[in-house]
Amino acid sequence: MRSLMNTVLVGAQWGDEGKGKVIDFLTEEADAVVRFQGGSNAGHTVVAGGRKYVLHLIPSGILHDGKHCIIGNGVVMDPFDLMKELEQAESWGCELKGRFHISERAHMVMQWHRAIDAAEEAARAEGSKIGTTGRGIGPAYAAKVGRRGLRAGDILKPDFADVIRREVAEANRTLRALGAHELEADEMARLYEPVVSALMPYVTDTIQLIHEFIDAKRPILFEGAQATMLDIDFGTYPFVTSSNPTAGGACTGSGISPRSIDRVIGVMKLYTTRVGEGPFPTELDDADGETLRVRGGEFGATTGRPRRCGWFDAVVGRYAQRVNGVDYWALTKLDVLDTFPVVRICTGYRRKDGFVYTTFPADLGALAHCEPVYEDLPGWQCDTSKTTSWDALPANAKKYIERIIELVGGKIGVLSVGPGRETTLRINI
């Protein structure tokens, strides 16, 4: 199975499944890594050589010498966040010239998008707040769909400053209506002056570049950010992000055909977490939830917020398998469950009238009155963090994983039992 091929990697739950680590692992077999959606709301953590690296916009492939890293057209990038990250990557000794590329079609998150994000969130009533990362993602995608967006290629144009002034005037109307501070157009135009020279060398036609890789049969890894349950179409709408982190997004967000995708890998944590607001059927508000949070280090890589924690949800897993066509699973954080005498798997959501949902309902109101149906399995209560092969796992850990795969479909490909690169076990791929 270990052959050169184009891989799409997606998160199956509500994000923070450990995608950064799996991407880092799979990058060894790829010549290029492409981000296809989202922006600096993502936080991909890689631990290598005892050092922790967190990347928000630049594909994690940058940590591997010689790999090409591409920001695809479906991404919304904040030029200032990107400039900071490029400086950081250089300080880590990463060579960027000739291997880091930004699509001229990628939209930019501008200062006013951040201001609108904050003002809209503040204006939402309690219970309707989304708990966004505050990175301006929703307003930037709204501008894109509303055909008012600024694209990376626009920085190359002589009238970039005038466009900024015009857009600030437009954004101020929205900010005024929301009772927020307005921005000063000339100041904004000046603020963006350094962006032009800093990013210009990287802006290019990435569709052409990606197809050169495809034509030369050089394998590409398409790196999804966020996850299935945060997808604007398939997630827990409206408590979602504003892009398509599911496998289809890899095509629209990078300019490839579905025919160019050879396999889909889903990343799934062996329990569930969520940051921000919105439904979470298996959420635990007790000592078990706290154990998961503390043992799993469940604090947001982008915002530092404590993550909400709960048992594994097979309804979500099955839904993600279908929506993405997951061939192989990368299962993460098994070691976090090491101390539990019993581990629980949710197989459905029971309504008060006895009806059990076995697929994720679109109507979140219906979910609010449901309780999870659990299957209980015995825990293994020993340290799995030093395990180096499937065979060496405790029998109960194997049974837990096998039951999950049976319920969700697909095959197991990778198992992660700790944060470091050396704790990733290759199973079928």
Task: Decide if residue 130 touches ligand IMP (CB under 6 A).
Answer: yes
Q: How far is the CB of 11 from ligand IMP (least distance, A)?
A: 8
Total interface residues for ligand IMP by CB under 6 A: 20
* Nearest C-alpha neighbor of 342 from the set 300, 312, 298: 312
Which region among 124-132, 193-201, 343-351, 407-415 touches ligand IMP (by CB under 6 A)? Answer: 124-132
Task: Decide if residue 229 touches ligand IMP (CB under 6 A).
Answer: no
From candidates 111, 236, 241, 272, binder to ligand IMP by CB under 6 A: 241
Which region among 164-172, 206-214, 239-247, 379-387 touches ligand IMP (by CB under 6 A)? Answer: 239-247
Q: How far is the CB of 42 from ligand IMP (least distance, A)?
A: 4
Which region among 102-110, 197-205, 224-232, 351-359 touches ligand IMP (by CB under 6 A)? Answer: 224-232
User: Quick one: 20 or 255, whose CB is closer to ligand IMP?
Assistant: 20
| Residues of span 1-40 touching ligand IMP by CB under 6 A | 15-16
From candidates 131, 219, 306, 420, binder to ligand IMP by CB under 6 A: 131
From candidates 59, 61, 74, 138, binder to ligand IMP by CB under 6 A: 138
286: how many CB neighbours lie within 10 A of its CB?
A: 7
| Residues of span 375-414 touching ligand IMP by CB under 6 A | none
Q: Which residues, in sequence order, are CB contacts of 356 under 8 Å at separation 6+?
A: 348, 349, 350, 373
Helix axes 160-177, 111-123, angle to 10 degrees: 10
Q: How far is the CB of 255 from ligand IMP (least distance, A)?
A: 23
Pairing verdict, β 272-274 and 308-310: antiparallel
Task: Decide if residue 85 touches ligand IMP (CB under 6 A).
Answer: no
| Residues of span 139-158 touching ligand IMP by CB under 6 A | none
Alpha helices per DSSP H over 178-313: 185-191, 193-199, 206-215, 248-252, 287-296
From candidates 27, 111, 133, 282, binder to ligand IMP by CB under 6 A: 133
From candidates 82, 116, 183, 225, binder to ligand IMP by CB under 6 A: 225
For 4-41, give one letter per residue: b (16+ CB within 10 A) or e.
Answer: ebbbbbbbbbbbbbbbbbbbbbbbeebbbbbbbbbbbb
Cα separation, 299 vs 273, in Å, equals 10
Q: How far is the CB of 136 from ligand IMP (least distance, A)?
A: 8
The set of catalytic residues is 16, 44
User: Quick one: 99 or 144, whose CB is closer to ligand IMP?
Assistant: 144
**In angstroms, how far is CA 130 from the centroid of its own chain?**
17
| Residues of span 299-358 touching ligand IMP by CB under 6 A | none
Q: How far is the CB of 139 from ligand IMP (least distance, A)?
A: 9
DSSP state of 151: B
Q: Which residue is nearest to ligand IMP (CB)?
A: 276
Cα separation, 69 vs 66, in Å, equals 9
Where do we find the tokens 């101020």?
A: 172
From candidates 132, 254, 387, 423, binder to ligand IMP by CB under 6 A: 132
C-alpha distance across the termini of the chain, in Å: 5
416 neighbors 330 (Cβ within 8 angstroms): yes
- Cα–Cα separations (whole angstroms), residue 331 to 29, 269, 313: 19, 6, 13
249: how many CB neighbours lie within 10 A of its CB?
A: 26
Which region among 149-157, 234-242, 247-255, 409-417 touches ligand IMP (by CB under 6 A)? Answer: 234-242
| x/- map, 43-72, ligand IMP, by CB under 6 A | x-----------------------------
HSE, CB side, 13 Å, CA atoms: give it for residue 216.
Answer: 12
Task: Decide if residue 275 touches ligand IMP (CB under 6 A).
Answer: yes
Which region among 132-140, 377-385, 407-415, 420-428 touches ligand IMP (by CB under 6 A)? Answer: 132-140
Task: Decide if residue 135 touches ligand IMP (CB under 6 A).
Answer: yes
Q: How far is the CB of 44 from ligand IMP (least distance, A)?
A: 8
User: Quick one: 115 or 412, whose CB is closer to ligand IMP?
Assistant: 115
- Cα–Cα separations (whole angstroms), residue 115 to 147, 180, 230, 234, 243: 19, 8, 22, 27, 19
Three-state SS sequence of 192-209: CHHHHHHHHHHEECHHHH
Residues forming the site for ligand IMP (CB under 6 A): 15-16, 41-43, 130-133, 135, 137-138, 225-226, 230, 239, 241-242, 275-276
